[in-house]
Amino acid sequence: MIDLRGITQTYQGPQGPVEALRGIDLTIQPGEVFGIIGKSGAGKSSLVRVINLLNRPTTGQVIVGGRDLTQLNDAQLREARREIGMVFQHFNLLSSRTVFDNAALPLELAGMDKAAIRERVTPLLELVGLAHLADRYPAQISGGQKQRVGIARALASRPKVLLSDEATSALDPETTRSILDLLRQVNRELGLTVVLITHQMQVIKQVADRVAVIEAGRIVEQGRVLDVFTRPQQAITKSLIDEILPQELPVSVLDHVRKLTRQLATTAPGHAGRLLRLSYSGDSAYQPILSQLIREFGVDMSILHGQVDEIQDETFGSLAVYASGEPLQLRGAVEHLRAGGVAVQEVTIEI
């Protein structure tokens, strides 16, 4: 649906050129919810605005629905943009227009007649849950409701793609959840491709199918959300995930590991001890993996710390265990875990 090829974006800042995007290649499939996450200044807004050419990239191709938008003339571009709706962090509603008239604005601008507008906008306000507030003004509704108007307005031209630029950043957690649920609903019911940018992993976790991590104008990691959560590769990804799934073990756990290691040296001198972080998802979450290891490899396992969570309908979890036994058996146990789809990371700490 969307193909970004070799995108760079250089701004002329007061202190010289700023390279906001440094070579982005990205493919977004039709019908998916694709999240782009990064810290402040990473280039998220620049990137999402390239997709509808609100920002014309310095170099590269922006292919949406098979057409390279950078090659279109103004009239063709206006036409192409109708297929790409956008919602904004600060809603961008017109205060002098009612909820209905805000949602209807793109249709008025396109010259649609009044009756057709009513026919189009009324069900949209139903869809976003605002039919009863159609005559209110922006100052008379809540932030979450304003964003619902923003979503209705974005959907008015029946786009194929919906871009969301930090659409929930100004909202409290509960309202955020309800707006993300609405985005998920329009994705499913209308078959819309949704691209959302955010600085919060919680947003990615709740709605995205796939995620790309952007850092200093480059995509440094991407994949299925579940895979990225369970096997983050880059430090930046780990630190973003840390917000909802702490990556560091608590000090008390590390102290306990030190104690176990010292005990092992006196009680079983030939044995080795390893602190392992195990991450698992989907099917492997339901297998009795640990008891199997103890039985088949004769290793001892102490469970030190653990979390289980859900991404959309899939379970994933993370466990910290202290495994001890003969070095060969330990190695066999780790291989067995990996073969069973569990990501195993050995953590070394100072004893």
Ligand X SMILES: Nc1ncnc2c1ncn2[C@@H]1O[C@H](COP(=O)(O)OP(=O)(O)OP(=O)(O)O)[C@@H](O)[C@H]1O
Q: Which is nearer to ligand X, 11 or 71 (CB)?
A: 11
Q: Are 330 and 274 in contact (CB under 8 A)?
A: yes
Q: What is the nearest approach in angstroms of ligand X to the Cβ of residue 182?
A: 22
Q: Which is nearer to ligand X, 36 or 299 (CB)?
A: 36
Q: Which is nearer to ligand X, 59 or 307 (CB)?
A: 59
Angle at 348 between CA 343 and CA 349, to 5 degrees: 135
Q: Which is nearer to ligand X, 101 or 165 (CB)?
A: 165
Can you name the residues that pair with 84 across neighbouring β-strands?
A: 161
- Convert 293-332 to b/e letters by CB count within 10 Å (16 or more is b): beeebebbbeebbeeeeebeebbbbbbbbbbbbeeebbeb
Q: Which is nearer to ligand X, 39 or 231 (CB)?
A: 39
What tokens does 306 get? 């653990």
- Contact residues for ligand X, defined by CB under 6 A: 11, 13, 18, 20, 38, 40-46, 199
Q: What is the nearest approach in angstroms of ligand X to the Cβ of residue 245?
A: 22
Which residues 6+ apart lie within 8 Å of 317 measured at CB?
Answer: 279, 280, 281, 285, 306, 307, 308, 309
Q: What is the nearest approach in angstroms of ligand X to the Cβ of residue 197?
A: 7
Q: What is the nearest approach in angstroms of ligand X to the Cβ of residue 180?
A: 18
Which residues 6+ apart lie within 8 Å of 124 measured at CB?
Answer: 103, 152, 155, 156
What is the rounded distance in angstroms from the CA atom of residue 216 to the CA atom of residue 222? 15
Q: What is the nearest approach in angstroms of ligand X to the Cβ of residue 24?
A: 11
Q: What is the nearest approach in angstroms of ligand X to the Cβ of residue 249?
A: 30
Q: Which is nearer to ligand X, 90 or 305 (CB)?
A: 90
Q: In this structure, which amino acid lies at residue 107?
A: L
Q: Which is nearer to ligand X, 10 or 122 (CB)?
A: 10
Q: What is the nearest approach in angstroms of ligand X to the Cβ of residue 44?
A: 4
Q: Are 347 and 283 in contact (CB under 8 A)?
A: no
Q: Are 37 and 77 in contact (CB under 8 A)?
A: no
Q: What is the nearest approach in angstroms of ligand X to the Cβ of residue 36?
A: 9
What is the rounded distance in angstroms from the CA atom of residue 331 to the CA atom of residue 337? 10
* Residue 257 Cα distances to 245, 279, 305, 327, angstroms: 21, 19, 11, 17
What is the rounded distance in angstroms from the CA atom of residue 131 to the CA atom of residue 145? 11
Q: Which is nearer to ligand X, 38 or 273 (CB)?
A: 38
What is the rounded distance in angstroms from the CA atom of residue 256 to the CA atom of residue 262? 10
Q: What is the nearest approach in angstroms of ligand X to the Cβ of residue 21?
A: 8
3-state secondary structure of 220: strand
What is the rounded distance in angstroms from the CA atom of residue 275 to the CA atom of residue 320? 7
Q: Which is nearer to ligand X, 54 or 244 (CB)?
A: 54
